[in-house]
Amino acid sequence: MSGFGRILLVDDDEVFCEAIGRTLRHAGFEVALASHFNGALEYLESKHPVDLLLIDIVMPNSVNGFALSAMARLRRPELKVLYLTGYDIADFKHLASGPILRKPIDEMVLINTIACTLAEGGRSDDMSYPIS
């Protein structure tokens, strides 16, 4: 499955960010990268079009992904969110306003989950939480 949509990927691991960004661009998505909270908020405030926030939950020396997604949705209520974590998904499921994927991520699972999240009519709050 390939997709079309504009994604803001936020992860403190720049190597991971670049690799996932390349994968998503190859699948047909437009991708902007941010390695920290401030960069993500600046991008969102710049009025660049964004359909989906793809965000790491735990980022050292930074606001966590849940706080960032809440702040992002204050600016853009229609924004869909997909979370990433290297930790146990069960630890975060009750806090998420969208699906959570566990790192390392299978590329096809990621692409399909993004496509399904973007295809949802409303916000992604009620989607199931795929485990990879």
How far apart CA 98 and CA 125 sit, in angstroms, is 5
Q: How many structural domains does the chain have?
A: 1
Residues of the domain holding 39: 6-119
Q: Does residue 85 have a pLDDT over 70?
A: yes
Q: What CA dihedral angle connects 29, 58, 38 and 30, to 10 degrees?
A: 0
3-state secondary structure of 103: coil
The answer to whether residue 131 is domain-embedded is: no
Please check whether residue 132 lies inside any domain of the structure: no
Question: Which CATH number characterizes residue 46's domain?
Answer: 3.40.50.2300
Average pLDDT over residues 78-93: 84
Q: Give the pTM.
A: 0.85
Q: Is residue 127 part of a domain?
A: no
